[in-house]
Amino acid sequence: MAVIFCAAKNNMEKIFIDPQKIDFALIGKAVDAILNGMIVVLPTETVYGLAAYAENKDAVQRLARIKNRPPDKPFAIVSDSWEKARDYYFTVMPPFAYRLMEKFWPGPLTMIYYSDKDEKLGIRIPAHIVTNKILKGVNAPVYLPSANLSGKPEAASAQEVESGLGNLVDLIVDSGPSLYRQASTVVDLTCNPFKILREGTISEREIVDVFIKKRVIFICTGNTCRSPMAQFILEKQIDESKPYLRDRYEIISAGVYAYEGSAASSSIVSLLKEKESMDIRGFRATKLNRQLILSSDLIFTMEDAHTDYVLKLEPTAEGRVFPLRKFLSDGRVIGVPDPIGKSQEHYEEAFDIIKEAIVELKEWL
């Protein structure tokens, strides 16, 4: 599709960037405009927004005048990746907030929480490929409130922005009409447990569903033996004796030194088939990472060394990490022994220990 340049009042320009065939020269033009303190209209999957470089005081003041926003009411920041929001903008959040990131970012959700300076901060990761590329190029905080005057309808197309704000902005990036034509949902996580400030594209019910479904993770070394056993045994125990908990818990496992995608040990596959009538041949290993720790409400480890690893990777997890041996009646001081590379009897011993602990853990849940 041809690129459109359109001169308007106040030397405003309008460019078209086809999301199906991105012109990176035009992406660069938008990036430069933002970094140079201009007000740039950007598309998102919800509505069009007004982009201003958050570290440019003049641009921010101009944006506030356009939006008729009082100085003490900050704008939300947008970024190109939720990992940046997690690692550089927000301080440590409740576990379910990280699951909201996984489920809805990039997407039409604005989350409010505290920064490392203990200030409330709103962040959104738009799911529009053109704006995502522009934000990646800026690689700095950008404000992006909706592209409309206060009290006026939000704009879902570049044409609507141009008719309402054409003489107030410097550059309009047109990428066609917005997908949802509705503002993002805003959730305040500084309230206990949270508060929906604006229900938009994502419903309150969808937020609640993420909140109530707690994540339980079992951790061992390679995630091919002990932790998968614990995961599948707990799933079966809940299904058989507490089916009402099925929608309350997401049960997963990971390994501190796992090879991503490895299959479960053949000994464990046959053992669970024989003793629990379970087929886990489709299971694949996951390497433990910080996101899994942050997003889990309950973390159970097979050995104290695994607990140490978790707390070294994420010290704030203390209080959510428990050695599985705590649920054994014999009061053992060592963890679940690793049977890898040993005889079948060692696998069966590990199975018996894990099942005893899981039966007790199920009651605790």
- Per-residue pLDDT, 332: 67
Tell me the two tokens of residue 271.
Answer: 């053992």
Tell me what pLDDT residue 5 has. 36
> In this predicted model, what pLDDT tens digit does every residue of 59-104 receive, in sequence order?
999 999 999 998 778 899 999 999 999 999 999 999 999 999 999 9
Dihedral of the alpha carbons of 22, 25, 27, 32, in degrees to the nearest 10: 180
Would you please indicate which residues are annotated as catalytic (active-site) residues?
220, 226, 338
In Å, what is the CA distance from 75 to each residue of 16, 113, 122, 190?
26, 13, 7, 16
Question: What residues in the chain have per-residue pLDDT under 70?
Answer: 1-10, 331-333
Q: What is the DSSP letter of 130?
A: H
Domains and CATH numbers, the chain: 9-202 (3.90.870.10), 213-364 (3.40.50.2300)
What pLDDT is attached to residue 123? 98
Stated pTM of the model: 0.92
CB 10 within 8 A of CB 167: yes
